[in-house]
Amino acid sequence: MPTNGVYDAVVIGAGVCGAITAWRLGEAGQSVLLLEAGEWGPDRVELVGNFARAANKSPGSPYASVEGQQHAPSPENSVGPYYDQISPNDYRSTYERRVGGTTWHWLGNVPRLIPSDFRLKSTYGVGVDWPISYDDLEPDYGAAEQLLGVSGDHDQWDGLLGAHRSTRFPMTKIWQSYSDQKVIAWLGAPTFEGVAITVNSTPQARNSQPYDGRPPCAGNSICVPICPIGAKYDATVHVKKAMLARVPVELLDRAVVTKLETDASGRIDAVVYKTWAGEERTARGKIVVIAAHAIESAKLLLMSGGPQGLANRSDQVGRNLMDHLQGVGVALTAEPVFGFRGPPTTSGIDAFRDGQFREKSAAFRMSLGNDGWGRKEAPQAALDGLVKQGRFGTELRAQLANHVTRQFRISYSTETLPRPDNRVRLSDHLDPTGLPRPKLSFTLEDYNTAAFEHAERAMTFIFDQIGATDTAFDPVSPEKYSPAGHIMGTCRMGRGPTTSVVDSRSRSHDHPNLFIVGSATFPTSGTANPTLTAVALTLRAIPKMRRIMKDIVT
Partner 1 sequence: MDAKSCARTTRSLGSVERRGSVHAGTSVNQLFMRLSQQLTGFDDLSSSLAETYLTFLRAQPEVAATIDDLLSEFGLLERVGSDLQRFRSRIVENERFSEAIPRIIAIWYTASYRSANGDTHIVGAEPYFQALLWPSIRAHTPGLSGGYFGYWAYPPEN
Task: Report the interface residues with partner 1, using CB under 8 A.
Answer: 48-49, 51-55, 57, 175-178, 181, 208-209, 216-222, 228, 336, 338-343, 346, 370, 379-380, 383-384, 387-388, 390, 392-398, 400-401, 404-405
Q: Is 71 a catalytic residue?
A: no
Q: Which residues have C-beta within 8 Å of that of residue 218, sequence separation ≥ 6?
A: 229, 231
Alpha-carbon span 492 to 301, nearest angstrom: 13
Alpha-carbon span 417 to 181, nearest angstrom: 34
Judged by CB, which is closer to partner 1: 128, or 404?
A: 404
Contact 412, 364 (CB under 8 A): yes
Contact 415, 363 (CB under 8 A): yes
> Which residue, among 484, 412, 409, has the nearest Cα to 453 in the 3D structure?
412
Judged by CB, which is closer to partner 1: 221, or 433?
A: 221
Q: How far is the CB of 342 from partner 1 (least distance, A)?
A: 3
Judged by CB, which is closer to partner 1: 377, or 445?
A: 377
User: Which residue among 105, 324, 454, 486 is the active-site one?
Assistant: 486
With the CA atoms of 88, 91, 97 and 102 taken in that order, what torsion angle do they form, in degrees rounded to the nearest 10?
160
Judged by CB, which is closer to partner 1: 64, or 222?
A: 222
> Which residue, among 41, 78, 13, has the nearest Cα to 432 in the 3D structure?
78
Alpha-carbon span 328 to 472, nearest angstrom: 9
Judged by CB, which is closer to partner 1: 66, or 264?
A: 66
Q: How far is the CB of 206 from partner 1 (least distance, A)?
A: 10
DSSP 244: T
Alpha-carbon span 204 to 477, nearest angstrom: 29
Chain-centroid distance of CA 451 in Å reads 21
Judged by CB, which is closer to partner 1: 57, or 259?
A: 57
Q: How far is the CB of 468 from partner 1 (least distance, A)?
A: 18
Judged by CB, which is closer to partner 1: 54, or 243?
A: 54
Sign for the CA dihedral angle at 514, 247, 5, 276 comes to: positive
Alpha-carbon span 143 to 149, nearest angstrom: 10
Q: How far is the CB of 222 from partner 1 (least distance, A)?
A: 5
Q: How far is the CB of 288 from partner 1 (least distance, A)?
A: 39
Judged by CB, which is closer to partner 1: 232, or 425?
A: 232
Alpha-carbon span 482 to 476, nearest angstrom: 8
Q: How far is the CB of 333 from partner 1 (least distance, A)?
A: 13
Strands 32-35 and 407-414: unpaired
Q: How far is the CB of 483 from partner 1 (least distance, A)?
A: 21
Helix, strand, coil percent content, the chain, rounded in steps of 5: 30, 25, 50
Q: Which residues have C-beta within 8 Å of that of residue 87, sequence separation ≥ 6?
A: 440, 441, 442, 443
Q: How far is the CB of 151 from partner 1 (least distance, A)?
A: 10
Question: Residue type at 248?
Answer: P
Which helix (H) or strand (E) is 412 found in, with range? strand 407-414
Is-cis flag, bond preceding 432, omega within 30?
Answer: no
Judged by CB, which is closer to partner 1: 344, or 494?
A: 344
Q: How far is the CB of 73 from partner 1 (least distance, A)?
A: 24
Alpha-carbon span 239 to 235, nearest angstrom: 6
- Half-sphere exposure of residue 130, counting CA atoms within 13 Å on the CB side? 25
Alpha-carbon span 307 to 287, nearest angstrom: 23
Instruction: Name the residues annotated as catalytic.
Output: 486
